[in-house]
Structure 1
Amino acid sequence: MIEIINKIFNEKKYEKIYEKDEFYLYECREEMKTDFYLLYFLNYASELEIEKMLIEKYSEMIYEIKKEKKYKETIDKNLSLVLFLKISKKNQEDIKKLTYEIEESKMYFKRYLLNYTEDEEKKFFDFFSVKDTIEKMKIEIKKTDNFEKFKNGEISFYNLLIKLYIKIPILEYEFKESDLLEDFHSELNNELKTLEDENLINYIKEIKIDTKFDIINFSKYNLTEDEVKTEILRLSEVK
């Protein structure tokens, strides 16, 4: 797992500046950007045990990077933690509470808990290789039919793929406006077939398009009815 994660961070211009016992610290190398990620890979334990191990490891890391003169004052205020927690099936019921306890902790840096089973990891690597992982992940996450295939048991790598995109903030979905518009036009044209004209304006004013980045709602732009009609025509004519 660490090989893939290391590749992700390297691609995003993060350099590993500390490594010890499944504990890794990355620093962003982009100009004018101060950002650090602390990654911790461990097997399932109680929230208190994880907290104790984390504090011990963190203190040890700070001591060592200070000794090596790699410590920067900006670390404390610009640090995010991602915990990669391998669990067994019998632990799955406890994970929701544990995730909340870890991610909502009062400890000062941001925390993300990514849990996965050995079976999920194996199926992920049966499909992806470390060599082609990043580009292949970008392709597979964009395939709109993959979620349905996953629910139907046709593909098994998708669960861990989604978790990686949710829990690693620098791993972003490369959103294309054209994809969103295509979905919108499809929905609009379907509704045009079923709605009568007098109901159309009110419907269009309330249409929302949900994405990871924004929620578009015609009503927030205070469009007039004529403007809405113009927008309907413009959108429905775009091919």
Structure 2
Amino acid sequence: MMNRRFLHPAIVFFLLTLLVAFLSWVGSIYGWHDVQSLLSSEGLRWQLRNAVPGFLKAPFLGHLLILAFGIGLWMHSGLGALIMRLFMRHSRLSGKEKRAFCWSLMVGGIFLAGCMLLAWGPWNLVRSITGGLEHSPLAEGCTFLVSVGVGTMALVYGYAVDYYHTDRDLVRGLSYAFVRFSGFFITLFFMVQFFASLRYTGLDVFMGLSPSALHLCYVIGLFLTLFLSRTTNE
């Protein structure tokens, strides 16, 4: 559980966005080079137009949403906990767990073999026009394939240990990561607004931050918020 003495990351990024707005207003008054105010009529129009599409176009958001399906099943079915138990050697597996785990590994191996066959097999179904993997449909759909593979293994395990019985159980598993990491997606929204505001006002250039450095800060913030995220019930 996150220490209650510290602010939630979502609140931190919200306050940082307010700070950017204030500094941009000060910069526009004192004529800082290429700094435009967020607290202006044009800034307000930009915020209203950018809030939703800016978030939906955030780097890695689509990939994270797709991965959440497979990871949710992985966690909800108990497969992730079982692998952790094996790694930590906390307990022995029951006969049903061993059989379910073996079925899961077999299905995962078949799925991986199928992906490798598509990548390097004689058919050019999902490779690029030149026959390579770079910029190919297979490479661009890698996130989807990982989610499907992980989710399929978890699904087989869940049914094999009699944890899943109906389609409702499956849907609960698919949505589990969104519940478990709900705080992360909320924080991501405010983080995207902060970085977008920083770019719009020109404060990033004024502070000497290059686009690559700003992108690196975004990636670091993304992984930190993912690591620190907790459920809304905590």
- TM-score category (smaller protein): under 0.3
Larger proportion of helix: 2
Question: Under a length normalisation based on structure 2, what TM-score does the superposition of the two structures give?
Answer: 0.24
Larger proportion of strand: 1
